[in-house]
Amino acid sequence: MNVLMPVADGSEEMEIVIVADTFRRAKWNVAIVGLGAGTIRASRGVRLVPDVAWADVTPESFDMLVIPGGWDGVMAMTKDERLLATVRTFMANGKWLAAICAGPLLLQAAGVLKGRRVTCHPGVAGELTQTSRLNDRVVVDGRLITSQAPGTAFEFALALIRAVEGDRKADELAKSMVVKP
């Protein structure tokens, strides 16, 4: 599985690191992609170095797009036409789309949430206009998977692994990390 994870200044660091690390433990290829070149300053001030800049990736070569939250990061991403087009293309082609925390607002900005079942951070639920928020910690709607916040990041990552590779792989990873499956 090849995973594209865009990040920007203000993206939520726990959601980036927990999800990317869990995927890499599953032997998935994860590209943490900065909208620009260089280090980002995440939502709590942690500096992260993306693997590559957006200008240097070919989004079509990825199987899954994962959007971390963090209000400022998501707002920056909603202004990036390349990323919005990538979201639309992934949805149109039936590829995996996932978003956590405020991340579903990027999916909404791309116009792909109408009629879909999603969750998001309770603090941004009022911003959803194309659909309504479910209270579940993780919501699976076909190849669209959403989650609520940093505190649900392990569940989110494991739900994606479970959806793609099945219970056994997800349960093995959860056990090795001492996380509830």
Mean pLDDT, each 10-residue run in order, the chain (181 residues): 98 98 98 95 95 96 98 98 98 99 98 96 94 94 98 98 98 96 74
pLDDT in tens, 87-116: 999 999 999 999 999 999 999 999 999 999
d(CA 106, CA 140): 17
Domain harbouring 24, CATH code: 3.40.50.880
32 lies in which domain range? Answer: 2-177
Instruction: Please confirm, yes or no, whether 120 is among the known catalytic residues.
Output: no
Give one word for 173, left, alpha or beta, with left for phi > 0 and alpha for psi -120 to 50.
alpha
Q: Mean of the per-residue pLDDT values for the chain?
A: 97
In the chain, the N- to C-terminal Cα span, in Å, equals: 21
CA 164 – CA 168 distance, rounded (Å): 11
pLDDT at residue 120, as a whole number: 98
Yes or no: say if 104 and 118 are a contact pair by the CB < 8 Å rule. yes
- Determine the pLDDT at residue 180: 85
pLDDT number for residue 92: 98
The total domain count for the chain is 1
Candidate list 5, 35, 40, 101, residue with the active-site label: 101
Per-residue confidence (pLDDT) for residue 181, from 0 to 100: 74
